[in-house]
Amino acid sequence: MWWVTFSPLVLALFTGFFPAIGFTRLVFNLALFLVSPWAGAMVGSWAVKTVLNFSTILRLLVYVVFVPVSWLFLQTRYLKEWVDIDNKLFKYIFLGCFLLFVGIDGIAVSFSNLVDIDCGGLNLLANQLDVTVTDEDKERYASLHVAIFEGSMIVLAPLVALGCLIGENYYRTHDALILLIAMATVYGLFSTLSLSWYNCGIPKVPLSFWHKRPSIPNDYCSQICRSLGEGMELCCSHRPLFWRLIFLCAETGFEDSVICLIIVAYAVNALGRGNARDDYVIGSAWTTILAAACKLGSIIAASLVRKLWSPPELNRDDDGQVNISNVSSFKPMFFWNFLGYTSILLLPLAVYMESQDFYWESVAVAFIGCFLFFAFSGGPKIAFQALLHTFALETDPSGKIFSFIGTFVTLFDSFILVGFSLLFHFVEFDQSILISTALMACFGFVQLVIGPFLVLPKISNLYIKIAGSDIQ
């Protein structure tokens, strides 16, 4: 729900101020960057139930209490004479409060991520409770986690958007208030259910755990900085790993920009326009539908890749050079990825069609563009992630390099989203859509042309020899 409905809510709260989307993501990711290392150390000495309760209650307070109450407070009659929803002063005051709340949310997520099922949370809980978890159990719960996550985007988010449309039809009030009520209701309901399950369904940690729990070393901060520095040095020393990391950062930033900004801008400014204003409730509804198209495309792509493609093995030759056993299996991935990034150019066409009063035809074209973008790029993303993982373990068997990779990708993603949000603020909407999608298509073309030479070890070594370089 957070991924799909957050950006329309932000636009409604700040009346179309697109940089607010980029700034909130930047603050959220900075909170992850600053708190996650400390959370990783603290989680080892906390009970999993405590971590879940802490993070859930904190997020509950943010979206059920802090954000709605602060927004409503600034809308009271007492402040109406000098602050209103369209006043710049209101935007700046509330933006500061909202960024603080988003930072608190990032702190909560820093803790909850570490105990998620897909991040080893099941193993951590099993160790604390001194129970055995089989591979079948891990696979079953991981599949359940993925199904719930994807189902919430495909089914739950559109249902909530439908409820918002019904509410707008019966109660002619501000769009931000309707979306705030929807967000608070969803968070309040599911947080309450989660807290009930955590405290009633998870057993207490035995006393033996508290006697053997690890403590945080005194030089932990310097260890974090040293680990990040070593990870950066290892990434820069491995040419294929370095370029695969750069491409991954761009891919992550572009994908998040599509979900959190581009389709939101299209849904609000094109499909949601009515009565001489942008209808953020209608825009939110269309955003959930387009996001569902994106998710369907990625699900189909992931299913096909897992069935039809097997990752090749890496080996070293007599000279110590790393080679891929079947490098040809990766070459088509660059082409499919290019098709995905060119498919997003259908969005500017959809904007033009809507301006010519072809409303439903515009919706169909946008839906196809979003679906094809993730359908074509989803498969290569899985393949390239496997390649990056192999490179990282080959470079650093201890796995410390992954901390730098995650940090770098998180920060890079924020800056791309901030840049696109500023573009949508200073440039006309139709031009912004064209420029942003054209940049993505150019990236796909560049990766198609030079990606194999930079990322695949065997081709990369050949390219280096031809260029007369001694880089390894």
pLDDT at 75 > cutoff 90: no
**What's the token pair of residue 151?**
């189902």
Task: Decide if 87 is inside a domain.
Answer: yes
Is residue 289 predicted with pLDDT exceeding 80? yes
- CA gap 12, 10 in Å, rounded: 5
Tell me, yes or no, whether 304 and 426 share the same domain.
yes
CATH of the domain at 413: 1.20.1250
Domain of residue 428: give its range.
229-472
pLDDT in the model for residue 170: 80
Contact, 63 vs 187, CB < 8 A? yes
Mean pLDDT of the residues in the chain: 82
Question: Is residue 224 included in any domain, yes or no?
Answer: no
pTM of the model: 0.85
Q: Are residues 260 and 355 in the same domain?
A: yes
* Element holding 219 (H helix, E strand): none
Categorize the per-residue pLDDT at 309 as very low, low, confident or very high, splitting at 50, 70 and 90: confident
Confidence (pLDDT) at 324: 59
Pairing of strands 273-274, 277-278: antiparallel
Instruction: Note the pLDDT of residue 157.
Output: 86
Supply the DSSP string of 409-465, one letter for each residue: HHHHHHHHHHHHHHHHHHS-HHHHHHHHHHHHHHHHHHHHHHHHHHHSHHHHHHHHH
Instruction: Read off the pLDDT of each residue in 317-321 and give the average, rounded to a whole number.
Output: 57
Q: Final residue of a domain: which of 190, 216, 242?
A: 216
pLDDT tens-digit readout, 121-138: 777 777 777 777 776 777
Instruction: Please check whether residue 469 lies inside any domain of the structure.
Output: yes
Mind listing the pLDDT tens digit for each residue in 195-227? 998 888 888 877 666 556 666 666 667 777 777
| Pairwise pLDDT comparison (252 vs 331), residue with the higher score | 252
What pLDDT does 212 receive?
62
Is residue 245 domain-shared with residue 377, that is, in the same domain?
A: yes
Residue 149 lies in a domain: yes
pLDDT at 207: 63
Do both 121 and 46 map to the same domain? yes
pLDDT at 79 > cutoff 60 = no
CA 99-100-106 angle, to 5 degrees, is 85
Radius of gyration of the chain (CA): 24
Is the pLDDT at 469 greater than 90? The verdict is: no
Calpha distance 174→184 (Å, rounded): 16
Residues 192 and 254 in one domain: no
**Whether 234 and 208 share a structural domain:** no
Strand partners, 324: 314
| Shared-domain flag, residues 244 and 197 | no
